[in-house]
């Protein structure tokens, strides 16, 4: 669940938040955070979406750096391929993410394997 306080936002920020809901509802791909529902309660937009149980790539890089561990070639190739597949799908919908960074590329672990999930479409744009 992502909760966004609409009351303290500018009209542009509110539009970006509503845009994220609209875009997420259009995107159904294994490497994009799944959208389930949204509602407004007490001035906050609540977006019900898939939970990435392993955080984001940014945190994983920090964690491995602190542990003096590296990423295997297989992991890097697998993650890169999954990111490319998600971006290609987004482009087929004529959407630009516009904020693709390690903090917006999430990780889910299923049966011991990492899966990429792109999220945070708040400033994305439909062409």
For residue 61, which of 112, 31, 105 has the smallest C-alpha distance? 105
Is residue 16 part of the annotated active site? The answer reads no
Contact of 20 with 122, CB cutoff 8 Å:
yes
For residue 19, the surrounding DSSP H or E stretch is helix 11-26
Q: In terms of C-beta density within 10 A (0-12 exposed, 13-18 middle, 19 or more buried), how is residue 4 classed?
A: buried
Catalytic residue among 56, 99, 111, 120: 99
List 38's β-bridge partners, or say none: 47
| Structure-token pair, residue 10 | 């500018």
**Neighbouring C-beta atoms of residue 74, cutoff 10 Å:** 8
Residue with tokens 């890089």: 61
**Catalytic residue ranges:** 99
């Amino acid at each position: 669940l992502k909760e966004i306080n609409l009351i303290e936002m500018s009209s542009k920020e509110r539009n970006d938040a509503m845009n994220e809901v609209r875009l997420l509802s259009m995107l159904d791909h294994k490497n994009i955070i799944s959208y389930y529902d949204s509602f407004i309660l007490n001035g906050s937009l609540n977006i019900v979406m898939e939970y990435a149980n392993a955080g984001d790539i940014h945190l994983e890089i920090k964690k491995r750096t602190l542990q003096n561990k590296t990423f295997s070639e297989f992991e890097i190739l697998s993650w890169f391929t999954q990111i490319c597949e998600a971006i290609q799908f987004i482009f087929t919908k004529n959407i630009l993410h516009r904020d693709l960074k390690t903090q917006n590329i999430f990780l889910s672990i299923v049966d011991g394997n990492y899966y990429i999930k792109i999220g945070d479409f708040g400033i994305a744009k439909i062409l």
